[in-house]
């Protein structure tokens, strides 16, 4: 029989804290150096679209959400699910709107490492949070 404590091993909270730290670092980098980020990921010398700064702000917002979820993963499981959704939606938006489907090796690296690699674990933790919520009633 599962107990509320068994649904959230410490590594899950650690994963959410790692996601918090990663998003803080990545959001600050994108927000402070949008040209550098865009030119690196798009493999071009073109000027970065102004939306890139908003991407950095969105990443920082998600850092705050992941931190709250690390503190209360069972109560905030739906925000973890939202985080997984934003990773998939953000990758699709970046691919179609920013990269305009012209993706080089750096763009693929960005899409995989910044967005898609996190999704399976976020979904797993959200599922465990949902089970916790059902168990607690």
Q: What would the pLDDT profile of 9-28 be if each residue is shown by its tens digit?
A: 889 999 999 999 999 999 99
pLDDT tens-digit series, residues 64-120: 999 999 998 888 999 999 999 999 999 998 888 888 878 788 888 888 888 889 999
> What's the confidence (pLDDT) of residue 5?
66
Which residue do the tokens 């959200």 mark? 126
Closest CA to 127 of 135, 111, 94: 135
31-36 contact pairs (CB < 8 A, 24+): 31/56, 31/57, 31/60, 32/56
Domain ranges of the chain: 4-136
Closest CA to 63 of 23, 34, 27, 33: 23
pLDDT tens-digit series, residues 37-46: 999 988 888 8
pTM of the model: 0.89
Q: Is the CB of residue 70 less than 8 Å from the CB of residue 20?
A: yes
Angle subtended at Cα 27 by Cα 24 and Cα 29, rounded to the nearest 5 degrees = 105
Nearest-angstrom CA–CA distance, 55 and 10: 30
Q: Where does the pLDDT of residue 35 fall: very low under 50, low under 70, confident under 90, or very high at 90 and above?
A: very high
Which residue do the tokens 């010398």 mark? 45
Q: Classify residue 114 as exposed, middle or buried by CB count within 10 Å of its CB (0-12, 13-18, 19+).
A: buried
**Alpha-carbon separation of residue 11 from 6, 14, 18, 70 (angstroms):** 12, 5, 10, 10
Which residue do the tokens 């931190």 mark? 67
């Amino acid at each position: 029989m599962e107990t509320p404590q068994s649904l959230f091993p410490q590594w899950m909270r650690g994963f959410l804290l790692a996601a918090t730290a990663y998003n803080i670092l990545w959001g600050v980098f994108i927000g402070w150096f949008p040209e550098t980020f865009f030119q690196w990921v798009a493999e071009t010398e073109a000027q970065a679209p102004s939306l890139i700064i908003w991407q950095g702000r969105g990443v920082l917002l998600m850092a705050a959400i992941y931190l709250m979820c690390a503190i209360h993963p069972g109560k905030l499981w739906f925000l973890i699910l939202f985080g997984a959704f934003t990773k998939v939606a953000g990758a699709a938006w970046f691919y179609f709107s920013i990269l305009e489907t012209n993706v080089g090796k750096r763009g693929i690296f960005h899409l995989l490492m910044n967005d898609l690699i996190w999704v399976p674990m976020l979904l797993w933790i959200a599922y465990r949070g949902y089970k916790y919520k059902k168990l607690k009633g």
